[in-house]
Structure 1
């Protein structure tokens, strides 16, 4: 049965952002335009411990094809939130649960009636609602899935799920728009014990601990720097920073330790961005500016991290990713590919007589066969991620990509804005200002 929306509910878009710059205030308050208009050891221990637990306890990760479903009273009850026309149901977030015997979809919500009917049929949900708040209140799910790609809705949807008693929330990336939004979500998780997991799929890849082990064992010698690039397609610049850069920023601290500072420049037509260049980004990311940006991050382990994005400078066949460059080799990671990483031995600064091999890194290590059958599919289709969330709920531990991790990723995004507003000076992370750095931005003549 389709439940009607309750009167007086406002659409969860950006509101209540005071600003002295009208364009930024408007962009944060009116919602997005259409897409067409446009420390390392601690991290390693946590990741390896979680993946080891995943292997031992979480059956989806290692499941044999003929394994049976969990008993009905042991399954997690899942409620799905989407919004047709405003981010829809994300990248497969609503249907992955059909492949998880430990879960059952009990309800779906969508403010668009036609979209709701389609998704109810697709997911096999028992109930459907036009108002996601009513769905949460009536069904009291264990897990709420926040699917829309438009991130201006995430903050309210996540808080509604936490306030409604959800044990876990699986949220489409990027996490949310501003650090004050992230702070509020993290505080709510600490208060209630709810687990928020963000759908940065590559973060859950079981090859990541093997990459960390390779670095710490000296495979690339002394790590010198980490180089990151987005897809650099038509979204190159600030939109790329948000939509693709966050995938990379979520992984970076695993190899560099925590990020402590950022210095950056944002460009438009080869000149520095000014307040007059501010426009609305797509997918609800809020105000953006420019078609090119260059950022440098300092880290607690002394390994500098660079992110660069120039509109229409990418190579489609190469995808996007990062390189960990050492004085005796390189580890290259390509997002959303299998294998995730390759090892290139030898100094990158000395010519080689023979071509250097690109050696795959599996979850078992450099040059070893991948022992996990179909791992590329399981990572790409969120199976590893949602299984980790279920394990995190049952074991009362943070998910591998938690709300705090999402906030750290957002610090790196906002660090670019904050540094540019400060004239390219280095700004400390965590940032002191928790609202959008473009708020109140003025350039003195």
Structure 2
């Protein structure tokens, strides 16, 4: 495992266990919409001793009042453009991604030094470009809430693959949650987690070929819903995509409506000649190892072995590892460290743009009848927007 990541994870655990008051607290403003703060991006800061929530923004007066009461604060704004009045160090943005671009631009100009943003990142590459440019202009660090990227087990999984624990890596296979949102909505909401992890483990995408279907038939321009402000133009309840990654291995992503098992969750598998590593997003343990070649029949039983931050089949050395990751505590601490160390967070705005580019590539390939498209893409808008 990467020593720096292990030390950081252990330090995070110790920081949470300590009751000592920090010398300085980071001022946090949380931004919501009609009471929505994503996956607890408002209350997460109550678990980080080095921060204090000083204000909240929400255009819904009743929802804002309830938020102020829950967070035990008094300063609230109906318009998120006013958050500069609270002099924030950090801004947490939780609403759906249709509002992300405008909210991030306001947060970047507010004097804040860091932004913690709910995923998915934004609706298209043009918005991603604007967000990154604004953060660079104002010297702001942005962390995207793909919380599993801060999991201490993840760097170990990467090292295991690089050292040949599963033999030669043949491919990555990812699936979404595949519930009622199966297809493109699943790719945006949950598949963005899977794509982000795939890039971390196999390098950036080089090309993509994909098809999108609706009830078993290829999506046509007539099937496109252009009235979804939260996603932009969207269509299809079935997605089949292949990405060729920088490492030389293919990464497949599939999602079919109502094909998933809620007990299993969603994630990806790294398939090698001598074994498989399975990653289940938001689960504890995060990963499991299955030895042996999956293509070779075997009469002997094989058992999935948990992978901890210490290794395959070893006891977990990081206290309450699942709680730290799921509560976004690890992400918050890394965002603060990235500001202090003048580096990018482990899951940054640039990482978010790569994920948006991969989803855009799926649509671009489908519009071109499944033809392979190369990265970087030559378009910045959603390919369905002007498809006729």
CA root-mean-square deviation: 1.6
Match of 2:343 among 397, 419, 444: 397
Structure 1 portions without partners, runs of 5+ = 1-43
CA distances 1:384-435 after superposition (whole Å, capped 9, x unpaired): 1111111111111100110000000111111111000111001112211011
Does residue 144 of the first structure (1) align with residue 91 of the second (2)? yes
Of residues 109, 129, 143 in structure 2, which corresponds to 1:197?
143
| Contact 2:6 2:152 (C-alpha < 8 Å) held by counterparts | no
Q: CA deviation at 1:64?
A: 5.3
Of 345, 350, 358, which aligns to 2:291? 345
User: Are 1:311 and 2:311 an aligned pair?
Assistant: no
- Rounded to whole Å, the distance in 1 between the matches of 2:85 and 2:307 is 47
> What is the aligned partner in structure 1 of residue 318 from structure 2?
372
Contact 1:81 1:147 in 2 (8 A): yes
Picking from 213, 218, 225, the partner of 2:171 is: 225
Q: What is the aligned partner in structure 2 of residue 324 from structure 1? A: 270
In structure 2, the residue matched to 1:20 is none
CA distance in 2, matches of 1:216, 1:281: 45
Q: Give the structure-1-normalised TM-score.
A: 0.84
Q: Are the aligned partners of 1:61 and 1:387 in contact in 2 as well (CA < 8 Å)?
A: no
Structure 2 residue aligned with 1:100:
48
Could you tell me how far 1:375 is from its partner in structure 2?
0.5
CA displacement 1:84-126 (0-9 Å, x = unmatched): 16xx111111001111111000100110000001100111224
Contact 1:62 1:372 in 2 (8 A): no
Please report how far the alpha carbon of residue 440 of structure 1 lies from its aligned counterpart in structure 2 after TM superposition.
1.8
Q: Distance in 2 between matches of 1:296 and 1:280?
A: 25
Q: Is the Cα–Cα contact under 8 Å of residues 50 and 400 in structure 1 kept in the other structure?
A: no
In 2, Cα distance between equivalents of 1:64 and 1:293: 41
Pair 284,337 (structure 1): closer, same or farther in 2 beyond 3 Å: same
Give 1:184's aligned residue. 130
Does structure 1 conserve the Cα–Cα contact (< 8 Å) formed by 2:16 and 2:48?
no
User: Residue 117 in 1 paired to residue 117 in 2?
Assistant: no
Alignment deviations for residues 285-329 of structure 1 (CA, whole Å, 9 cap, x no partner): 121111111000011111100000111111111111100000110
* Residue pair 1:223, 1:327 contacting (<8 A) in 2 also: yes
SS in structure 2 of the partner of residue 430 of structure 1: coil
Which residue does the alignment assign to 1:35?
A: none
Aligned to 1:336: 282
Instruction: Please name the residue that 2:27 is paired with.
Output: 77
| Partner secondary structure for residue 318 of structure 2 | coil
How many angstroms apart in 2 are the aligned matches of 1:268 and 1:413?
17
| Residues 235-258 of structure 1 deviation map (CA, whole Å, 9 limit, x = unaligned) | 001100100100101111121111
8 Å contact kept, 2:9–2:330: no
Please say if residues 173 and 270 of structure 2, whose CA atoms lie closer than 8 Å, have aligned partners that are also in contact.
yes
Match status 1:299 vs 2:245 = yes
Is the alpha carbon distance of 1:144 and 1:293 closer, same or farther for their aligned partners in structure 2, counting shifts above 3 Å? same
User: What corresponds to 2:19 in structure 1?
Assistant: 67
Query: Displacement, 1:213?
Result: 1.0
Partner in structure 2 of residue 54 of structure 1: 8
Shift of 1:193: 2.1
Matching of residue 385 in structure 1 with residue 328 in structure 2: no
SS in 1 for 2:298: coil
Residue 54 of structure 1: how far off its partner (Å) = 2.5
In 1, distance between residues paired with 2:9 and 2:209? 40
Shift of 1:170: 0.3
Q: Is the 8 A contact 2:27 2:51 kept in 1?
A: yes
Deviation per residue, 1:233-286 (Å, 9 max, x gap) = 100011001001001011111211111111000011221100100115868112
Q: Structure 2 CA distance, aligned partners of 1:422 and 1:66? A: 56
Q: Say if 1:115 and 1:50 are closer, same or farther in 2 by CA, change over 3 A.
A: farther
Q: 1:127 aligns with which of 75, 91, 94?
A: 75
> What are the superposed Cα offsets for residues 347-401 of structure 1, whole Å, 9 maximum, x if unpaired?
0111122221111111111111110111001111111111111111111110011
Aligned residue in 2 for 1:163: 109
3-state SS of paired residue (1:175): coil
Gaps of 5+ in 2: none
Closer, same or farther: CA 271–80 of 1 in aligned 2, 3 Å: same
Q: Tell whether the 8 Å contact from 1:60 to 1:100 is kept in structure 2 after alignment.
A: no
Q: Is the 8 A contact 1:239 1:282 kept in 2?
A: no
* From 353, 356, 360, the counterpart of 1:410: 356
State whether structure 2 residue 232 is matched by structure 1 residue 286. yes
Runs of 4+ in 1 over 4 A off after TM superposition: 280-283
